[in-house]
Structure formats: C-alpha cells, structure tokens
C-alpha cells in the first residue's frame, strides 16, 4: 500500500470534508473512530474504509420498540463483541448496527425497500412470515446455521418455525406463551384456599380444569358482582387461533401443503365462544378491545380471567395500568395474579398455548452475507438471550440461556408452558388465513352470524382467498 504524499493528504482531507458536509446536509450519519459514513439510515449495508479498516453498517429493521424487545440492543452489543474477534483475526471488517423501527408497516417496508435495492440487511419479525419471505425471494437461505454450536440445545421443534419447503430461512430470537391471567383476590373471595389457587395451573395441565370449569367460576364472580367481566381474550389473529386449536381444529395439511377447513371442529369452536357471550362472561365487542383495556381489567380486578401473553408481565411493570399504583412490581404480580394455560375444552384433554416466536432473517441481497450470519450466531449467545428474556418477559430458546434466566421467578413459573406450544402455519398465505380466522370469530361474538353460518362463511372465504383447500 502506497502512502500519500503531503499534497495528496491535503486533497484527501478537503474531499473528505466536502463529502461529509454534503452527506450531513442529506441527513446522513457520521461516526467517529473508524470514520464510517452511512449514506442512508435505511437500506443495504454501507461501508467506509479508513486505513486498513472497513466499517460495515448493517441496517436492522423491526417493529418492536425497546421494552417489548431488546433484539436490536442485543445486535448492537453482539456487533461490538464480534468486532473484537474480527480484530484478533486481523480482519479488515468492523460492524456497526443501524436500527430502523417500523411498528406498523414492517412487511411493506421489506417488500418496497427490496424492490428499490435498499432492503434491510437483517429484520426482526414474527416466524409466521417465513413462508412469504422465502417464496418471495426476500430472505437468505440459512441451512448451515443448524450446525452452529450455539443452537445445539435449541428447544425441540423450534427449527420448524424457521423452516419452509425443507430449508431454513432464519434463526429464532425468542419464544413465549399465550396463556390466561387470573385475579387471585377474587378467587379467595369465592372461597378458594391458597393451596387450591396454587394447584390450579397443575389441574389445567392434567385436564382436570376445563373451559367449562373456568366459565363456571367466572359466572360466580360475575353473579356476586366481584367483576364486570368473567373472561376476556386477546384479540390478535394469531391469539384467537388458540380457540380453534383447543377444539381440535386442523388448520393445515403438511403433506399436501394446503389449508384445511375442519367444519365439525370449527362449529364446536364457535359454539364454545357463543356460550361465553350468551352467559354474560365475554363482551360481544371483545374483538374491538385494545391491549391496554384488556390488561387494565386484570390488573385492576374488573375481570377474573384474561387471556394474554407472558410478555405482558413486563407491561404491568412499565405501562402504569394499575389505577392507584401505576406500575406494579414483581412481588405485587406474584401476590395478585396467577397464570394458567388455556384450559382444554374437554375433560382429560391437554391444554395448549399458541407460540409466535420472533426470528431474525437476513436479506438475500445483503452485500455481506457471511458477516451477517456471524452476527446472528453471536447475538444468539446465552447472555444476550437472557438479557432480552428477563427485561421483556420472554423465554430463551436454548437450555443454556434458560438456566441463566432462572433468576426471574415469573419466567420460572411459566417456562413449562412451552411444552404445550402449538404454531399457526408459516405458509405464504397465512396473513390471508389469519384475517379469515379472526373475522369469523368476530361474527360469532357480535351475534352477526350463528356458529353454523359463520362456519359456512369461513369455508367460502377460504376457498376464495386461499385457492385449493382440504375440506373435512
């Protein structure tokens, strides 16, 4: 490498100053240290060379803000650690992570930025998007990631979440469980002992406490005017899938790669929900409830049973939902709120939880695929999983990280739930199917349709929107 003489150094300084000024005027970001210059906060990796070091700036897109997720924070820390390794390897590369938050339109952002050649190098996204991302040629195939040591103790079945058409298209970031909160003080007012309350989660696991049992207890609380609502459920399209699966609905035929309309079990699902509404336990406007409304009801004891997700434990601590206390701490939550899996619909049945693990995917057109994959391996280390899990109330995906997260009493109390995890299909048409699923349930709850009519409507919509389906 030739050294610059004095005049050339002056010229280089002038040009660098001019470029920096122009870039700053366009909203570009300049960093010190290795003098890296990003031309745009969003888009493909950019790089700047200074001396022997080339700083690669990777764009990482996600929809979850800090508080709900520490994925981007972890990526930034993991990049620092990887940079230390790259330096020891005498590599010319260093990494810098540029986060882009897209809470409402992440999918559209990926699609349109890809078309303009500025796709984010990495995206943090729900696993059920894997199908359309892979089929649409948006993301990089990562079959070789399965051989990395950091994933050798991945929870059973979780490679399936990032698999489409027999190939792997991402790596797991976290997992969680959808379950039911219950308000302990009201059960005590109904005559339950502390021992009976403590035994409830196990009774659900054993199939000894069913949906009907939960409705009976909720009816007592409503009749005694302890609560306004006996039961509320979370309303996301992947959340309401729990009612279908709990009633044995088969959603998808893996061999035929087709969605299934399982008429008899769909009708049973709708009858169960209608009974909750007709009994005055579940409001007919349930699907219009905001998350805030739902969580305020359980933390203030105006509902007895409330469907939710384990990550919402963190929101009780952060979002000020309690009318008098505002934020509540772990001790308050342990004393006042219990958690159970969604009880089985039939006596002796197994409970379920719907899991929607978040994953990292990488753009197929990233300019630095090997560096991206090394960063995803680095960020999957147990300490980063634990950081995200304990701060946002999620469950780590490897045994090593789960050991580190045992310091959280709440995570300890719910980690068994992943043994009952069920998943919606990650087929490319899943966004269409989940809308049909939610709309059909809403039609029943509002009384717009009878269970039988809603099932007919659902079958017709599936045939219209999903093409060829299996009808059973």
CB burial string 178-198: b at 16+ within 10 A, e below: bbbbbbbebbeeeebeeeeee
Tell me the per-residue pLDDT of 131-149, one tens digit each, with 9 for 90 and over. 999 999 999 999 999 999 9
* 23-32, 56-65, 190-199, 421-430: least confident range: 23-32
Percent of the chain with pLDDT over 90: 81
Per-residue pLDDT at 77: 96
Going by pLDDT thresholds of 50, 70 and 90, the confidence category of residue 45 is low
- Taking the C-alpha atoms of residue 381 and residue 401, their distance in angstroms, rounded to an integer, is 8
Query: Residue 14: what pLDDT?
Result: 35
Residue 364 DSSP code: T
| 42 touches 100 (CB < 8 A) | yes
Q: In angstroms, rounded to a whole number, what is the distance separating the alpha carbons of residues 119 and 111?
A: 8
From the list 374, 389, 403, the residue with the least C-alpha distance to 78 is 374
Instruction: Examine the pLDDT at 445 and tell me if it is beyond 50.
Output: yes
Estimate to the nearest angstrom the gap between the alpha carbon of 21 and the chain centroid: 41
125 with 62: CB under 8 angstroms? Answer: yes
Q: What is the pLDDT of residues 142-182, one digit of tens each?
A: 999 999 999 999 998 899 999 999 999 999 999 999 999 99
Distant-in-sequence, close-in-space partners of 320: CB < 8 Å, separation ≥ 6? 326, 327
pLDDT at 44 (0 to 100): 62
Closest CA to 249 of 277, 232, 272, 233: 272
Q: What is the pLDDT of residue 41?
A: 42
Six-digit token pair at 263?
């008429």
Q: What pLDDT does 43 receive?
A: 59
Distances (CA, A) of 424 to 129, 130, 146, 466: 11, 12, 22, 15
pLDDT digits (tens, 9 = 90+) for 403-422: 999 989 999 999 999 999 99
pTM, two decimals, is 0.82
Nearest CA to 152 among 366, 427, 382, 332? 382
């Amino acid at each position: 490498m030739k050294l610059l003489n004095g005049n050339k150094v002056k010229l280089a300084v002038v040009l660098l100053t001019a470029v920096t000024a122009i870039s700053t005027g366009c909203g570009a970001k300049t960093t010190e240290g290795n003098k890296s210059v990003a031309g745009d906060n969003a888009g493909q990796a950019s790089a700047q060379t200074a001396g022997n070091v080339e700083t690669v700036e990777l764009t990482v897109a996600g929809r979850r803000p800090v508080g709900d997720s520490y994925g981007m924070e972890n990526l930034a820390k993991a990049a620092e650690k990887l940079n230390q390794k790259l330096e020891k390897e005498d590599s010319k590369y260093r990494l810098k992570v540029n986060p882009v938050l897209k809470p409402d339109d992440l999918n559209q952002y990926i699609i349109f930025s890809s078309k303009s050649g500025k796709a984010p190098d990495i995206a943090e996204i729900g696993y059920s998007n894997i199908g359309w991302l892979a089929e649409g040629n948006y993301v990089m195939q990562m079959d070789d990631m399965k051989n990395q040591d950091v994933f050798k103790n991945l929870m059973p079945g979780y490679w399936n979440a990032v698999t489409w058409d027999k190939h792997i298209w991402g790596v797991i970031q976290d997992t969680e469980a959808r379950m039911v909160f219950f308000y302990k003080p009201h059960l005590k007012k109904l005559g339950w002992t502390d021992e009976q309350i403590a035994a409830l989660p196990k009774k659900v696991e054993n199939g000894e406490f069913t949906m009907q049992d939960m409705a009976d207890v909720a009816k007592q609380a409503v009749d005694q005017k302890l609560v306004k609502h006996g039961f509320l459920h979370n309303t996301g399209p992947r959340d309401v899938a729990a009612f279908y699966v709990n009633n044995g609905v088969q959603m998808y035929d893996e061999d035929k790669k087709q969605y299934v309309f399982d008429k008899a079990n769909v009708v049973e699902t709708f009858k169960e929900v209608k009974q909750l509404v007709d009994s005055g336990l579940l409001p007919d406007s349930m699907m219009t409830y905001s998350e805030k409304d739902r969580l305020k009801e359980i933390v203030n004891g105006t509902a007895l049973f409330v469907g939710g997700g384990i990550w919402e434990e963190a929101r009780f601590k952060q979002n000020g939902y309690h009318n008098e206390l505002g934020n509540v701490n772990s001790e308050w939550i342990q004393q006042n709120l219990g958690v159970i899996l969604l009880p089985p619909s039939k006596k002796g049945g197994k409970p379920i939880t719907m899991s929607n693990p978040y994953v990292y995917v990488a753009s197929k057109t990233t300019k630095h695929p090997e560096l991206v994959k090394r960063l995803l391996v680095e960020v999957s280390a147990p300490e980063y999983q634990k950081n995200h899990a304990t701060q946002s109330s999620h469950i780590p995906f490897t045994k090593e990280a789960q050991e580190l997260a045992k310091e959280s009493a709440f995570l300890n109390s719910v980690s068994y739930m992943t043994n009952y995890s069920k998943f919606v299909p990650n087929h490319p048409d899943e966004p269409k199917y989940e809308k049909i699923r939610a709309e059909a349930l809403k039609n029943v709850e509002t009384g717009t349709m009878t269970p039988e009519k809603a099932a007919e409507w659902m079958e017709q919509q599936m045939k219209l929107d999903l093409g060829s389906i299996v009808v059973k």
